[in-house]
Amino acid sequence: MSEVEQNQRRAEISLPIDWHIPEGFQSRYANNVLVQAGQFEVIISFFETQLPMLLGTLEENKEKLTELGSVRAECVSRIIVSPELVPSIINALQLEYEKYQALKSSQ
């Protein structure tokens, strides 16, 4: 085995990750996401938006929404990652979403 091959084999050592979520860690619901790309990072912000109660007629509800002008979205979490990690995040999300869809369609 050449020295280059030996060095490559040494570089292939990996350690398992012990995923730990602290007891009492607060989880928050998010129904909106904002992704921003910086020069050296990608910022992913998660928001919870509560829509106003609309109990009137279509015209009354339309008028109420026009008066509001906007809906407040509270940031519940933000992560900053390197651009190199983004493809792994996309792959993980896609895989888990496909599992969810398969489970949903089998019910």
- Dist CA 52 CA 21 (whole Å): 34
- pTM, two decimals, is 0.72
DSSP, res 5: H
Phi, psi of 13 (to 5 degrees): -70, 135
- pLDDT 10s digits, 55-88: 999 999 999 999 988 899 999 999 999 999 999 9
Using alpha carbons, list the distances in angstroms from residue 13 to 8, 9, 47, 79: 9, 7, 38, 28
The bridge status of strand 73-81 relative to strand 42-49 is antiparallel
Stretch (H or E) spanning 79: strand 73-81
